[in-house]
Structure 1
Amino acid sequence: MEKQSNSLVVRLVGSLVGYMRRFLFRFLSVGPIPCHVAFILDGNRRYARKWKMDDRMGYKVGFLALMRLMRCCHELGVKYITVYVFSIENFKRRPEEVQNVMELMLEKIEGLIKEEGILNQYGVRMEFVGNLKLLAEPVRIAAEKAMRLTAHHKSLVLVVAVAYTSTDEITHAAQECCQDKAAHGNQQQLVEVADVERHMYMAVAPDPDILLRTSGETRLSNFLLWQTSNSLLYSPAVLWPEVGLHHLVWAVLNFQRVQSYLHKRRNCLYLSTQ
């Protein structure tokens, strides 16, 4: 009887929280909703040390935080989410730590693409961007499979930046531009901004409206340097596994406050490159 009573309380609390979340999102929808929100997942290892657990468990809790925010973004009407999962610089960490991250990444990718997983439930298309040849082969194969299996989904796009830095992205795009022009006999033609952007890893998504980095850090850490010149930057002090709905709501409210200014800036930048 006690277990049934506790189960009933849990369901009632869950229903109440869901109702409050829907009410809050309806309130936010009166203003402009960001199309694209990017996240730097900072603080997984510090969270693990804070709670005296190993790093792998810290990353697992961080993954659950990502799933919570992805669900909230979907309900709010956000169309693109980008997450900075692993930098090229991170490959310089201890080999066993890199191996642990690769194994966990493989586990989570395979879990996400299960038939009953959240990707199918919410119609999420996955895009992995970065220098993917640097990944362990099983991870790269799993990433390619996830992109192939979710290519038909249209509700939300989850962009996973892995083995990524902006300097590598820009260098790669410039090289691709030159090779493309040479292949078409246009060696003398100047490279335009639009040419570079077309060859960017992040060409799969519009520029982010909001970039949220946890841990109170205000550095971009070589992430989306090209794409965030007119994005709202928000740096809550919490560690990534501690991030929650109220941080997303606060970011959206601040975005709505400055959205018209950011929109004008983007239009001016677009016109100046034409």
Structure 2
Amino acid sequence: MGGGGVSQLLEQIHMLSRRCLFRVLSMGPLPIHLAFIMDGNRRFAKKRGLEDGSGHKAGFSALMTMLQYCYELGVKYVTIYAFSIDNFRRKPEEVQSLMDLMLVKIKSLLDKESIVHQYGIRVYFIGNLGLLNKQVRAAAEEVMKATAENSRVVLLVCVAYNSTDEILQAVKRSCADKDVERERERVRLVDIEENMQMSVAPEPDILIRSSGETRLSNFLLWQTGHCQLFSPDALWPEIGLRHLVWAILNFQRSHSYLEKKKKKKQL
């Protein structure tokens, strides 16, 4: 058996093992929505002595693998923190490098062989897209249009995003829809929630931040009040199946408590 045949056999074994593992996990409650803060790309490159940008490329590969796992597990929504508004404060050459890489990766989602088309993923770009350059913004809009009919999985890419900006814009839109000077036209909580960009998805069940960091970094502050947090020590390009499984097991252990909290919120 040649090298290619061995690789195919190993992949088939891994896939079968995952199916068995996921079937066991499905005996308990499974998350509908997973969110990821992909932390540690630059540290990964530095740790391995790689050139600039290599960490983010490795991080993109890790993301594609994680999307595959989520699809196989039956997760409906996946949200990723791709680029914060605060990241624009980095060195101009680093920001430009990241924008160039982002443009390449966004365009790659349009390929017929991409995971987006394989798994019927609908893509939303969430954030202040006006802060992106024209090429990246146009590519993002093209991907959203091209995947608008997909429905198996929803991928929300938070780019040029932070939570305070999302809340601010939602309040502005809510006020624009109301005559706030009239008593009965006061802005309500439901108005703000309906105007949040993340309103296209339910609140996350699990938020995973790599690198062992326990900060939210201004990500989904409105939506994560009753969300299971998981912070593995692995840098984002090192993230793997075992980390996802542990996150789900922790979620299942806390599920009844979290559900009670959500029900109280709805009352």
- TM-score class, shorter-chain normalisation, is over 0.9
Instruction: State the 1:63 CA deviation.
Output: 0.1
Of residues 219, 227, 237, the one that matches 2:223 is: 227
Runs of 4+ in 1 over 6 A off after TM superposition: none
Counterpart selection for 1:110 from 84, 107, 111: 107
- The residue that corresponds to 1:175 in the other structure is 172
Give yes or no for the alignment of 1:27 onto 2:58.
no
Counterpart residue number, 1:78:
75
Amino acid at match of 2:114: G
Work out the CA distance in 2 between the residues paired with 1:12 and 1:125.
Answer: 31
CA distance in structure 2 between the partners assigned to 1:229 and 1:216 by the alignment: 20
Quote the Cα distance in structure 2 between the aligned partners of 1:116 and 1:186. Answer: 54
The answer to whether the aligner puts 1:238 opposite 2:234 as a matched pair is yes
Equivalent pair of 2:179/2:186 in contact (CA under 8 Å): no
The CA RMSD over aligned residues, in Å, is 1.3
Sequence identity of aligned pairs in percent? 54
- Structure 2 equivalent of residue 163 of structure 1: 160
User: Which residue pairs with 2:264 in the alignment?
Assistant: 268
**What SS does the aligned partner of 1:55 have?**
coil
Q: What secondary structure sits across from 1:225 in the alignment?
A: coil
Gaps of 5+ in 1: none
Deviation at 1:186, TM superposition (A): 5.6
Question: Deviations along 1:97-135, whole A, 9 cap, x unmatched?
Answer: 000111111100100111222111000000000111001
Number of residue-to-residue matches in the alignment? 267
Q: Which of 109-118 and 201-210 deviates more?
A: 109-118
Shift of 1:83: 0.2
1:250 is matched with: 246
Q: CA deviation at 1:26?
A: 0.5
Q: Which structure 2 residues correspond to residues 10-21 of structure 1 after superposition, within 5 A?
A: 10-21=7-18
The residue aligned with 1:143 is 140
CA drift at 1:57: 1.0
CA distance in 1, matches of 2:182, 2:111: 46
Task: Tell me, yes or no, if the aligned pair for 1:197 and 1:203 is still in contact at 8 Å.
Answer: yes
Specify whether residues 270 and 95 from structure 1 end up closer, same or farther in structure 2 by C-alpha distance, changes over 3 A only. same
What one-letter code is carried by the residue in structure 1 that aligns with 2:171? A
- Supply the distance in 1 between the matched residues of 2:117 and 2:175 (Cα, whole angstroms): 39
Offset from partner CA, 1:17-76 (integer Å, 9 cap, x none)? 111011000111111110000000000000010111123111000000000000000000
Deviations 1:5-27 (A, max 9, x none): 32222222111111101100011
Distance 1:186-1:153 versus aligned 2 partners, 3 A rule: farther
Are the equivalent residues in 2 in contact too, given 1:44–1:55 (CA < 8 A)? no
| Matched residue type, 2:266 | Y
Q: How high is the TM-score relative to the length of structure 2? A: 0.97
Which secondary structure state, in structure 1, belongs to the residue aligned with residue 175 of structure 2? Answer: helix
